[in-house]
Amino acid sequence: LGTQRVNAEGHLEIGGCDAIDLVKEFGTPLYVMDEETIRENCRNYKAVFEARYPKNDISFASKAFLNMAICKVVEQEGLSLDVASAGELYTAIRAGFPLDRVLLHGNNKSLFELEMAMDFGVGCIVVDNLLELRQLKTLAEKKGKTQKILLRVTPGIDPHTHRRISTGQEDTKFGLSVANGDALEAITEALEFAPHLKITGIHCHIGSQLLDAHTHEQAIDIMVGFMRTIADATGWMPEDLDIGGGLGIRYTEDQHPPSYEEFGDTLIGALRAALEKYDVPEPRLLQEPGRALVGETGTTLYTVGVIKRVNIPQDPGTRTYVTIDGGMSDNPRPQLYDAVYEVLVANRMGEAKDQEVRIAGKHCETDILIQSTKIGHIETGDILAVQSTGAYNYVMASNYNRFTKPACVFVKDGEADLVSRRETLDDVVRLDIIPERLA
C-alpha cells in the first residue's frame, strides 16, 4: 500500500522509514501516516475530476483525519476543507488554513459555532435545518455580513452500507427532505433572506465506505432533478451541487472499491446525463471525500504482548489470541461497525502465513481488533502493523480505561515527524478536579 515496502532486514518500511525504528523512537501504539501517498491521493482525485469536469472543487472531509499538520498538506495540495464542529474549525484556524476555503457542516450547530464561523470568515456554511437557517440570517444581519450557504437535503436513498454510516435515506436526522417539499420550502425562505444569506446551491451526503458508485449515480439524478424543480418554482437555479463524500477503500483483499478514475467516469457520466435530462446548466460540482484520501495511507503499529491458546467447542478445537498494547480506544471501528482489517508482522515480513489467530486489544472487555486472520510465526515483542487505519481511527480515539492516546507521525522520504504527541499520564488527569468537600 502506498510507499510500503519490505527492506533488506525483512522489516516493513513506510515512507522510507523502517517500522521497527519508528517503534524504537516513538513507541507503540503508533499511528503512521504516509504523507507522500496522502499528497498523491489529493492530487490524483483532483486530477481525475479536473479532466472530466473542470467546474469542480474538492474538499477534504477532515472528520476522517484531522490535526494541524494535515491542514498544511491539504492546503498545499490545493484542496478545500470540510469541518463539522467548533473543534475541527478551530484546528483549521490554528493551522492557518485559508478560511474562505472551509465549509462548515453539522446537523445541530450551536450559536457559538455559527458565530465563530461567521467571525472567522468561513467560506460556506452547509445549513441543515430551518432553525439554523433563521439563526444564521439573524446573525448575518446583526453583523452586517453576507454569509454564503448551501442547503443540505435528503435525496431519500439507501446506500446499503453499515446502518451507522448511512445518511441519505428518508428516515434520517440530516438535512431536509426533497420528497416531501421541506427542502424546497427552506430554499424559498433562504432566497428571501438575501442579502444576509447567499444560498449558492444544494448538498447531500448519502453514506460512507460505499464500494460502488450506484448510490451516487441515483443521488445525482435526484439532485439535478431537484435543481430543475427549484428553478421552476423559484426562478433561481442553484450554482453549486455538493454530493458529499462516501467513496470506500480496500480494507481487505475481497473488497473492490472503484478506482478514482472509475468513480469519476460514473459520477460525471451520471451528472452529464442528468443535466441533459432535466435541462439544467452545468453547476460547480463539489465533493467531500474523507476516507478515500487518507484511509489506506495510515498504519497502526502495536507491540504484541500475551499470546494465549484457548480451547473452543468448534473446529479446530483451539484458538490463538494475540494481544496488542492498544485496542478499542485507538480503533473503535471493529466494535462499532464490525469493521475488518488486515495485519502484517512488521519485524518479520514475507513469512508464510500458516496460522490463524485472533487479534485482541487490552481493554477490560472483549475488544477484538481482528476476529480471524492468517499470520506467520508470532511471539511476544513482535510488532504488528494494522493496515488502512488512516481514516476514522486517530480521530475516533478515546481514553477508555484511561489509556493515553497514541502518538501520530508523518513519514516521508525516510524522515518521520511527530505531528501529534503521545498523551502522558498527566494528560489523563489534567481535567480532573477534586472538590473541596472531598479533599
75 annotated to a ligand binding site: no
- Which residues lie below 8 Å from residue 365, measured CB to CB, with a gap of 6+? 328
Nearest to ligand LLP by Cβ — which residue? 245
CB 331 within 8 A of CB 295: no
394 annotated to a ligand binding site: no
Which one of 165, 237, 307, 340 is in contact with ligand LLP (CB under 6 A)?
165
Tell whether residue 297 is a contact of ligand LLP (CB under 6 A): no
Tell whether residue 264 is a contact of ligand LLP (CB under 6 A): no
CB 11 within 8 A of CB 22: no
Tell whether residue 205 is a contact of ligand LLP (CB under 6 A): yes
Which window, 16-24, 286-294, 312-320, 372-380, contacts ligand LLP (CB under 6 A)? Answer: 286-294
Which one of 114, 292, 343, 419 is in contact with ligand LLP (CB under 6 A)?
292
Size of the site for ligand LLP (CB under 6 A): 21
CB 293 within 8 A of CB 77: no
| Interstrand relation of 415-420 and 407-412 (parallel, antiparallel or unpaired) | antiparallel
DSSP letter at 162 equals -
CB of 10 to ligand LLP, least distance (A): 32
Active site residue 364: yes
Which window, 21-29, 49-57, 66-74, 283-291, contacts ligand LLP (CB under 6 A)? Answer: 283-291
CB of 290 to ligand LLP, least distance (A): 3
Find residue 176's DSSP bridge partners: 153
Tell whether residue 209 is a contact of ligand LLP (CB under 6 A): yes
CB 197 within 8 A of CB 190: yes
Tell whether residue 405 is a contact of ligand LLP (CB under 6 A): no
392 annotated to a ligand binding site: yes
Tell whether residue 321 is a contact of ligand LLP (CB under 6 A): no
Single out the residue of 197, 349, 359, 208 nearest to residue 288, CA to CA.
208
DSSP 345-394: ETTSTT----EEEEEE--SSS--EEEEEEEES---TT-EEEEES-TTTTG
Which three-class secondary structure state does DSSP give residue 311?
A: strand
Which one of 221, 288, 330, 382 is in contact with ligand LLP (CB under 6 A)?
288
Which window, 15-23, 213-221, 240-248, 268-276, contacts ligand LLP (CB under 6 A)? Answer: 240-248
313 annotated to a ligand binding site: no
Interface of this chain with ligand LLP, residues 55 to 74, rule: CB under 6 A? 61, 63-64
CB 414 within 8 A of CB 18: no
CB of 79 to ligand LLP, least distance (A): 13
Which one of 29, 106, 258, 290 is in contact with ligand LLP (CB under 6 A)?
290
Find residue 61's DSSP bridge partners: 82
CB of 215 to ligand LLP, least distance (A): 12
260 annotated to a ligand binding site: no
Tell whether residue 257 is a contact of ligand LLP (CB under 6 A): no
Q: Taking the CA atoms of 17, 21, 23 and 26 in sequence, report the sign of the dihedral they define.
A: negative
| Interstrand relation of 30-34 and 407-412 (parallel, antiparallel or unpaired) | parallel
CB of 50 to ligand LLP, least distance (A): 19
Cα 91 to Cα 340: distance, rounded to the nearest angstrom: 30
Which window, 87-95, 181-189, 242-250, 420-428, contacts ligand LLP (CB under 6 A)? Answer: 242-250
43 annotated to a ligand binding site: no
Which window, 258-266, 272-280, 282-290, 351-359, contacts ligand LLP (CB under 6 A)? Answer: 282-290
Cα 129 to Cα 139: distance, rounded to the nearest angstrom: 16
Residue 304 has which C-alpha cell? 504484541
DSSP 49-98: HHHH-SSEEEEEEGGGS--HHHHHHHHHTT-EEEE-SHHHHHHHHHTT--
Tell whether residue 46 is a contact of ligand LLP (CB under 6 A): no
Strands (E), 290-333: 298-311, 318-324
Nearer to ligand LLP, 172 or 401 (CB): 172
Binding residues for pyridoxal 5'-phosphate, by number, are: 246, 288-291, 392
Residue positions forming the annotated binding site? 246, 288-291, 333, 337, 365, 392
Applying CB under 6 A, the residues found at the interface with ligand LLP are 61, 63-64, 82, 105, 165, 205, 208-209, 244-247, 288-292, 333, 337, 392
Catalytic residues: 364
